[in-house]
Each structure stands twice: as C-alpha cells, then as structure tokens.
Amino acid sequence: MGHNNHAGYVAVKNRSTKDLRDGMTLVEARSSEKMFFASHPAFSTLEAAVWGIETLSQRLIDILVSRIQVAVPEMEKQVQRLLDETSLKLSTLGREVPLGSDACKREYFSMVQQIVMRYATAVDGTYSAQRSERWARLYARVHVKWEDLRKMIHTTWPMSLENLSDCLSLKQEAEEDSGSFLARIIAAELKDLRGRELTEVFNSRAFNYFVSVFVKDWVEISTECLKSCLLITREVLSGLVDDIFKQFPFLLSAVRETVVVKLVQDKYAQAVQNVSALLDLEGDPFTLNHYLWDTVNKTRLARFEEQLNSAIDESKSQVYDGDVRKHVDSFSPEVLRRNLMAWFNKERGIGCANNHQEAEEMIILLHAYWKTATKRFVDNVCNVIDENLCKATKSCLMQTLTELSTDSLDRYFVEDSNVVLLRKSLVAKLDRLGAAKEALQKDFLRE
C-alpha cells in the first residue's frame, strides 16, 4: 500500500464469481463494496477518497477531462486552420450560379464594374498594395516601351544619313579628303541635289530630303513600339478577364472575344493611323520652337570659339616680317587678325566653292532640327498610344460590355461541372468543420 504512482491509486472490490452466479446487481455490488471497506480490519483504515468504484470513476473522468482541456486549444487551432483553408478555396470558385435573368444581369454587371475599375487602375497607374500584380501595371509597362522608343529614335543620328554612303561610294572617292565622314556624304549629296538655286545658297529642297531620310527610320521604330504596347494592353486585359470571369467559361470566351480581341484591335488601328499621320507631318519640316536656332547658334559659337582659341595660340608663337614668318614668344595682334580673316574667308565666305563648308552648315541645321523634331515626335507618339490605345480602351470598356448584356445572359452563366462538384464538397466540409468547432467550444470541457 506504500507504492505511489503518477496518477495515484484507488482500491476497489469487484464482484466474485459466486456473486455473479447468484445474480448480484451493480447496485448491490456497490453496497457490498462499501460494507467491505467499512468492516475490513486493514482496509477500513483507508480514507474514503482512495477506495470504491464511484471514486475510481470520478478520478478517471477528471483525468480524461484534464487531458481534453490540454488538447482542445490545439485542436481548435487545427479546426480553424482547416476552416480558413476551405473557405479560401471556396471563395476562389466564386459565387453560385445566379438563377433567372435578373440575377444573371446583376451578377454580370457586378463583374463588369470590377474589370472596368481594375483596368482604369492599370491605365491610370494608381496601383494599390492589395493588387500589386506586376503584369497588371499597364502604365508602368508601356512607359518602359516609350523609353525604348526614345532611345531607338536617338540612334538615328547620324546613322540614317551615313547610310547614304552605300550609294555614294564613287562620289566620296572623288571628294577631297577633308572634314568628317558625314560631311563628305552630305557634300556629295548636295552636289547631286543641286537645282536652279544659286551656288552655296541654302538649299531647302536638300534640307527637306535629308529630314525625310531620318524620318523614314522612325517608321519601323514607332511601329515596333505600337506593337509592343498592343501586346501589353492585351495581356493586361486578358489577365483581368480571366481573373474575373473564369467561373463561367462561356461568358469568359464571349468577353475575351469582345474586349481583348475586337475592342483593343479597333483602338490599335486608330493609334496606327494617327502615328502614320505624325510621320507624314514630320516628313515636312516645320517648327516655331526657338530651341532650333538656340542649338544652331550654340554650335556655331562653339566652333568659332575653338577657332579663336587656336588663332590666339598661334599668335603667341609667331610674328611676320613681310612674307617671312619668325617664331617669337610675344603676342601679335596682326597674326591674330590674319588667322581670323583666313578662317572666316574659308568657313563663311560666299563664292569660294567651299563644298565642305556648305555641308558642315547643312549638318548644323539638320542636327539642330533633328534634336527638335525627335523630342516632339517621341512625345507625340507616346501621347497617341496613351490616348488612342490605352485610355480609349478604358473609355469604351463599359459601353462594349454593356452591349454584350443585350444577349440572353442565362446561356453564358453555365458553370463547369467539376467546379460544381468541388463547391458541393467544400460546402459539406465547411459544415463538418463548423460542427466540430462548436463541439470543441462546449462549456463542460472548459469547467
């Protein structure tokens, strides 16, 4: 009796074989047990708390309840986790199929409002942390393509004009070996374009021709930018349509055909037409932007400053005694005057048959105009894509989807049979888990 164990001990007196043969009931057995422990010489000294069937039953119940109380919180967590997971899976399936025309229309316009709102967010660039899918950030994605457009347009100087050298190789060989490669090309081309204008008078026809040369290179670059933005617009809209209408395959197919294919293609065609009009305008040089002449004057001034510095350096190291040049370390205003006059006569003189100078002047004007025109063209192309493709699609999205609702929507709201079965299974699972959670929260387990 001196042995101890973790759970303690309780002494009991079971019915004997004779008692069972005599048909002793449980009530009689309990009474017999009490008399035994009360009259036994040894067991009568035990406290009532350590003997008897009733005491043992209560002790076992207490142990069981304590074990359950320890396990219940963790069980509740597991049940809640399963409830959350099942609810999330069920939510991804969408709501149940609406019944009746009115219910179908309400459900349809609810989805239409979602896609209109989310596409507007994608176009306007008002992204939120809740919807941070990178593929849906339309404005950010097309802006990258606009930057690519700007970079590619800037590569067309002087490459576009230098490509003329392929057809002028013989003329270049006949030119004097002076000046830049581009200047020799322009000089040869100016000879070829000479009309009835006076020699060395600015040739506007040649200027327009050279402008048209680099504008032609803009066609392919702007076309590629348009195509890239078209693909991005389709990808974003397609992703939104799939996300919102995926529950109903027939409706998904109809919306994708109406919006992703037809609507976007129509807006793209308008954008292509407007960019083509921009290219036509750029092929006919015109600007009132003072930046053109600011750039021309800046370039001319830089060239004059370079020549002036060179003339000053030469004037410091030499003087003339008649026709004999003597080297001294003094400054000579006379030498400076002669150097500057010689430079002016060579670079700015009229009637000197200076093809190289004529070409250099043409390059200065062309480069200044090219810089002005490229800034304008890139901005205009980006605006056309934004207004005629991205924003125009947003403006027409609600109307286009509303027109689709004139059809009988009931035929579109047909759910995939596998989805129907999965929803039923998840709903039944939620019911079972809910009942389990309720059972775990019974008060008797927490007393």
CATH number at residue 198: 1.20.120
Same domain, yes or no, for 285 and 395? yes
14 pLDDT above the threshold of 70: yes
- pLDDT single digits (tens) 357-371: 778 888 888 999 999
Residue 435 maps to a domain: no
Q: What total of structural domains would you count in the chain?
A: 2
Full residue range of the structural domain in which residue 28 is found: 1-51
Same domain, yes or no, for 366 and 221? yes
> Can you read off the two tokens belonging to residue 439?
């059972």
Same domain, yes or no, for 41 and 130? no
Q: Which of 32-36, 289-293, 305-309 has the lowest mean pLDDT?
A: 305-309
170 pLDDT above the threshold of 50: no
- pLDDT single digits (tens) 398-419: 999 988 876 677 777 777 778 7
Residue 10 maps to a domain: yes
Same domain, yes or no, for 240 and 342? yes
Contact assessment for residue 30 and residue 53, using Cβ atoms and an 8 Å cutoff: yes
- Residues in the chain, how many? 447
Residue 428 maps to a domain: no
Same domain, yes or no, for 226 and 355? yes
Hey, which bits of 15-83 come out as E strands? none
pLDDT bracket for residue 172 (50, 70, 90): very low
pLDDT bracket for residue 175 (50, 70, 90): very low
Residue 268 maps to a domain: no
Position 294: which residue type?
D
Please state the rounded mean pLDDT for residues 49-57: 81
Same domain, yes or no, for 32 and 169? no
Same domain, yes or no, for 295 and 169? yes
Higher pLDDT, 258 or 52: 258
Contact assessment for residue 138 and residue 239, using Cβ atoms and an 8 Å cutoff: no
Using alpha carbons, select from 239, 277, 274 the residue that is nearest to residue 255: 239
Please, what is the Cα angle at 394 between 392 and 396, to 5 degrees? 70
Other Cβ atoms closer than 10 A to 355? 21
Other Cβ atoms closer than 10 A to 378? 22
Cα–Cα distance measured from residue 237 to residue 397, given in angstroms and rounded to the nearest whole number: 10
Q: Which of 106-110, 193-197, 246-250, 422-426 has the lowest mean pLDDT?
A: 193-197
Same domain, yes or no, for 200 and 120? yes
Same domain, yes or no, for 39 and 145? no
Task: Return the SS3 of 244.
Answer: helix
Same domain, yes or no, for 296 and 373? yes
Same domain, yes or no, for 126 and 4? no
Higher pLDDT, 336 or 41: 41
pLDDT at 64: 80
| Half-sphere exposure in the Cβ direction for 18 (13 Å, CA) | 0
6 pLDDT above the threshold of 80: no
Residue 269 maps to a domain: no
Contact assessment for residue 52 and residue 62, using Cβ atoms and an 8 Å cutoff: no
- pLDDT single digits (tens) 317-355: 555 555 555 555 555 677 677 777 776 666 665 554 556
Residue 123 maps to a domain: yes
> Can you read off the two tokens belonging to residue 85?
């997971």
Please state the rounded mean pLDDT for residues 193-201: 60
Residue 76 maps to a domain: no
pLDDT at 312: 73
Mean pLDDT over the full length of the chain: 80
Please state the rounded mean pLDDT for residues 91-100: 74
Q: Which long-range contacts (CB under 8 A, 24 or more apart) does 397-401 make?
A: 397/115, 397/116, 397/119, 397/259, 397/263, 398/112, 398/116, 400/258, 400/259, 400/263, 401/112, 401/115, 401/116, 401/255, 401/258, 401/259
Residue 377 maps to a domain: yes
Same domain, yes or no, for 305 and 198? yes
